[in-house]
Amino acid sequence: MKFLIDTNIFLFAIEDSKRLSKKAILLLEDESNELFLSQASLWEITIKHSIGKLQFVDGLKKTMDQGIEKLDLQMMPIRSNHIYRVSELPFHHNDPFDRLLAAQCLEEKISIITADPIFKKYKVSGQIG
């Protein structure tokens, strides 16, 4: 199965795995799953790092690269159809990154691994508590 990894799940998986649910761990470790990380998540993490909300002992780039490799993630580029889909989404909240992740899941017809219930409002499948 194909899954997009929510930003927080990615951060938990590489920095604080105790915060992951057992179900999320099983999905991340299942080699039959294709796992994707959105470029939007890297963008969000980079912004939070640059304003001091996130710190990484080994530095931003090294930590991100090692996390992507460790989890065997494929990068999902931000495409124009993803951006256009955002304009069709209702405003359940104002987080532009979550809205873009929801649009990517809907456009690519893939599920998401997340602990955030907001994705249910966008009718994105695969939420993991």
What does the alpha-carbon distance between residue 33 and residue 50 come to, in Å, rounded to a whole number? 32
pLDDT at residue 51 tops 90: yes
Q: What are the pLDDT digits (tens) for 110-123?
A: 999 999 999 999 99
Q: What are the pLDDT digits (tens) for 58-79?
A: 999 999 999 999 999 999 999 9
Residue found by looking up tokens 């530095």 in the block = 59
In the chain, the percentage of residues whose pLDDT exceeds 70 is 99
Rounded average pLDDT over 3-20: 94
Tell me the CATH number at 35. 3.40.50.1010
Residue 129, pLDDT score: 64
Residue 78, pLDDT score: 98
Residue 127, pLDDT score: 76
pTM of the shown model: 0.94
Dihedral (Cα; 7, 9, 11, 17), 10-degree rounding: 180
Question: Is there a domain that residue 63 lies in?
Answer: yes
What residue numbers bound the domain in which 54 lies? Answer: 2-121
Question: Is there a domain that residue 126 lies in?
Answer: no
Question: Is there a domain that residue 97 lies in?
Answer: yes
Question: Is there a domain that residue 66 lies in?
Answer: yes
Residue 16's pLDDT band (boundaries 50, 70, 90)? Answer: confident
Of the two residues 93 and 86, the one the predictor is more confident about is 86
Count the Cβ atoms, other than its own, within 10 Å of residue 95.
14
Rounded average pLDDT over 84-105: 96
Question: Is there a domain that residue 129 lies in?
Answer: no
CB proximity list for 10: less than 8 A, separation 6 or greater: 37, 41, 45, 67, 71, 73
In the chain, how many domains are there? 1
Question: Is there a domain that residue 128 lies in?
Answer: no
